[in-house]
Structure 1
């Protein structure tokens, strides 16, 4: 836990929930697990306010609780998950992703559940007024909800979801030990813990979808289901567990009932942010290949990731499922810019000419023939899987090839790229060059670093110390003799990955806090002007505002827009630096 992280979380909670909830979060973040009796005096709030704040935080998955027996009493302890607080900054990105993939109907359902924290589908129907709509609208709503649940944009809430994984494991361990007649040995205790972890992982990896039920629908015609089926534009409408009646040869005219998926109205659901983080991570990988090569390579990698997304639930997954080149070919968008993506010609001229000597104009991406399109895709696949990053690997030569995405290598590559950008922004291009040399050559003496970077030894030493003070690089001592005398040692510079990531996170946390503080300061400096714009007479007659006031409002809107863009960019850095790490302990919480 970082001081900058706690300060940032307090600012986010204050912005979203107010000062009372902020006081409760600040105490839990500072002192850890506390009971209600301990929390009330430390938060300096009334017991009622603290209980209501805890209810709101538990509702939104920010606070978890666990019961512990103390003497003859059962005491409930509360703890805060800072990771879920930081995710509040991505609310706009999450909503944009859902709208892109599920359409406006899916966005309305997801936004309602996300605003409530935890909600039943019945409550969502009341909020959206589905009961007052027609029969076709109700069918469409049910199909959209079923699609959201099946694709795990929202997941069912169980009684253990408000308890952290560590507490669940401890409770399971206590119950297993109580079944034994004698205290377990160290070997038996290790076996019990391994069994519990395997059971937790098996339940987590289960493909069963909770909350979906099948019902026989005799009042829905096959033609109607076909019209409400998922379209090519990505808008979810209606679904059948066996497809439409026409596709399976079962017609309503024949009197046969059809099986359609529906969602239990009484089951509680919550937004599954881990699933959406996968989409954000995948977009970062696509951007990496787009920047390194071209838009065609990015489109090809996007197609690969789209195939593997179905089996990638969270960023904890290190390797994707294998994908054949045929599947990749089918999922490449028709609008993908493949024409100028790669030169597959075998002659020495870039410009091709016909028999008359006129230059040959390549057709657009949509007009490419199937043979030409496949030729470009296979050539791009060859370039991508031989890339030095090792993100895409060719695992099998069967047919036209089998490919797999190494998300662990992708996380390392993206983190290195992000750290380079942070160092370049904070210190300059020379420091970034020093960092890249150390990353490529590993442990080096400062004289060798100076030679590799073509810098004077004094300037190189000064810049190396700047990076060391920032925690980006570190030194290692190699003694010349057994007495380990400091004057007789080699001091080599190298990159300590863990320390570097911690420093990068501190930079990002501090920058995000500065953005929020700047926005609050700009708003407070123009508070009177903003209050004037909300008056009824000004709303009715905007001419009451002077030209200077209008310019000041435009300036405020421009500043807010720039700060919002900066916040999104910093949050994308945080996603790359920490959230994509498969070894992160926080990724295993609240699963």
Structure 2
């Protein structure tokens, strides 16, 4: 855990849960597993507040607890889960893209609450959708449940691990979570009787009138899914992000039809392929042709030609694994992620040092080891400029220098000095800088908001007054008079603040895209080792 990661996690916890939870979570991140009393003492926080903070962190899968061999419980922070809070808006947007507003609200509720039962999610989402509907319509519980089942079938949501008591006689000790869960049961939705529809909030006057003619309504039967809690499967979302990056890369390199072929192959194996697998399940040409979207009028012969071109492409995103069934093909996931990470490294070098440095960087990636004279010749750059560029990149650890002595005395005149690029250490260094960049962006956004706090509060109060007056049917002149309480300079300042915050938010999302690619590359390298 680097200092930049710890700072970013502290800022994310503070932004999502407040000061006390951030203090407890940051302490666990920096010190490792700790018992309850030590956490309270070292953070100088009352014991009951520490307990509440730990409950919040455990509820959101940011902390786990385990039994020490001496008999007391220790709490351990989950660093990766904490960092994934940065990606929450992307999870919600993906669910909205794939499953509409209902899927968006399901994922949003699970992210807000950490863990929820099926009936609780269905009721909350149905009520929210009913509030947004017009003409007095209501959202059926069964429709929300059907979308939830689709999310579970595609593994975007999963059951939480079963909690088991290690020793029933020791009532004071909390239950220890069991990590052993049947994979099929993790995504199986229980059969729950879902009769009813979402309810709207009523005003006090409506409640009085409704109370006189109140009829018994059948609500959700919550007894059938007691003890079964659901959470977001972040690994499945990350698999989807990786697949989309691969599809986009193929589309940019070749054409739309090639990317649609790759999309079809990834969709056919998205549930059967592990997130850490090196390649997808082998698929025959006939299977791909049968699963191809109907909108593309493409013949089997043309599909085979495209598959051959993809398999022979230097990127090696698609590989052959056999000749049966018209040819067996796979997507080389680790190779694709490594290529995407390398492209990000090249882009960073080009943005920071210019196109000539990027040319040298690509040359070293391709040739592995080169002397300075060879770099000058291959890159076709004058000796003085090539030397300056190499030393610039060497000073920031983008490239490294390897000495190969001819004699044991390491005399400079009898030593080869070879420049090389080590992608994995370079990716780790740039990932560390990306964490630091996101932390700086969050601090800047908080600073911008804090400087204009009073103006924002004034704007919110006026908006609330206008909303209440519109609900009561106020005249246009009255509304305009309330709006004029914000002067022209204040309105201009609010617009400037909104523009700056939007830029900072967009920058966070863009940096997170780079973080995701670099993290995927580093994790795939660990898997191969």
Q: Which residue of 2 aligns with 1:98?
A: 95
Q: Which residue of 2 aligns with 1:488?
A: 414
Q: Which residue of 2 aligns with 1:304?
A: 265
- Please point out which of 437, 446, 456 is paired with 2:372: 446
Q: Which residue of 1 aligns with 2:54?
A: 54
Shift in alpha-carbon separation, 1:404–1:586, aligned structure 2, 3 A: closer
Find the aligned partners of 2:129 and 2:282 in 1 and give their Cα distance: 46
Q: Which residue of 2 aligns with 1:44?
A: 44
Find the aligned partners of 1:207 and 1:40 in 2 and give their Cα distance: 40
- Please point out which of 138, 141, 144 is paired with 1:141: 144
- Per the TM alignment, residue 274 of structure 1 is displaced from its structure 2 partner at its CA by 0.6
Find the aligned partners of 2:409 and 2:165 in 1 and give their Cα distance: 55
Find the aligned partners of 1:388 and 1:162 in 2 and give their Cα distance: 54
Find the aligned partners of 1:38 and 1:93 in 2 and give their Cα distance: 36
- Please point out which of 451, 457, 460 is paired with 1:534: 460
Q: Which residue of 2 aligns with 1:320?
A: 280
Find the aligned partners of 1:429 and 1:470 in 2 and give their Cα distance: 17
* Residue 384 in structure 1 maps to residue 345 in structure 2: no
- Per the TM alignment, residue 130 of structure 1 is displaced from its structure 2 partner at its CA by 6.8
Give the count of matched residue pairs. Answer: 468
Contact conserved, 1:65 with 1:162, CA < 8 A, in 2?
Answer: no
Q: Which residue of 2 aligns with 1:152?
A: 155
Aligned CA-pair RMSD: 3.2
Contact conserved, 1:131 with 1:138, CA < 8 A, in 2?
Answer: no
Q: Which residue of 2 aligns with 1:283?
A: 244
Shift in alpha-carbon separation, 1:502–1:128, aligned structure 2, 3 A: closer
- Per the TM alignment, residue 524 of structure 1 is displaced from its structure 2 partner at its CA by 2.2
- Per the TM alignment, residue 37 of structure 1 is displaced from its structure 2 partner at its CA by 2.0
Q: Which residue of 2 aligns with 1:8?
A: 8
Q: What are the superposed Cα offsets for residues 74-121 of structure 1, whole Å, 9 maximum, x if unpaired?
A: 122222122112211211111121122223223322222221101111
- Per the TM alignment, residue 500 of structure 1 is displaced from its structure 2 partner at its CA by 0.9
Contact conserved, 1:7 with 1:513, CA < 8 A, in 2?
Answer: yes
- In the alignment, structure 1 segments of 5+ residues that lack a partner are 164-199, 221-261, 336-364
Q: Which residue of 2 aligns with 1:254?
A: none
* Residue 505 in structure 1 maps to residue 431 in structure 2: yes
- Per the TM alignment, residue 204 of structure 1 is displaced from its structure 2 partner at its CA by 7.5
Find the aligned partners of 2:464 and 2:101 in 1 and give their Cα distance: 33
Q: Which residue of 2 aligns with 1:22?
A: 22
Greater shift in the superposed pair: 381-390 or 394-403: 394-403
- Per the TM alignment, residue 531 of structure 1 is displaced from its structure 2 partner at its CA by 1.6
* Residue 113 in structure 1 maps to residue 110 in structure 2: yes
Find the aligned partners of 1:425 and 1:439 in 2 and give their Cα distance: 17
- In the alignment, structure 2 segments of 5+ residues that lack a partner are 131-136, 167-178, 196-222, 467-481
Q: How does 1:324-473 map to 2 (within 5 A)?
A: 324-334=284-294, 368=297, 371=299, 374-473=300-399
- Per the TM alignment, residue 280 of structure 1 is displaced from its structure 2 partner at its CA by 0.5
- Per the TM alignment, residue 296 of structure 1 is displaced from its structure 2 partner at its CA by 2.9
- Please point out which of 544, 555, 569 is paired with 2:510: 569
Q: Which residue of 1 aligns with 2:520?
A: 579
Shift in alpha-carbon separation, 1:131–1:34, aligned structure 2, 3 A: closer
Q: Which has the higher contact order (CA 8 A, sep 6+)?
A: 1
Q: Which residue of 2 aligns with 1:78?
A: 75
* Residue 547 in structure 1 maps to residue 488 in structure 2: yes
- Per the TM alignment, residue 404 of structure 1 is displaced from its structure 2 partner at its CA by 0.3
Find the aligned partners of 1:567 and 1:106 in 2 and give their Cα distance: 24
Contact conserved, 1:532 with 1:538, CA < 8 A, in 2?
Answer: no
Find the aligned partners of 2:123 and 2:142 in 1 and give their Cα distance: 15
TM-score in terms of structure 2 length: 0.81
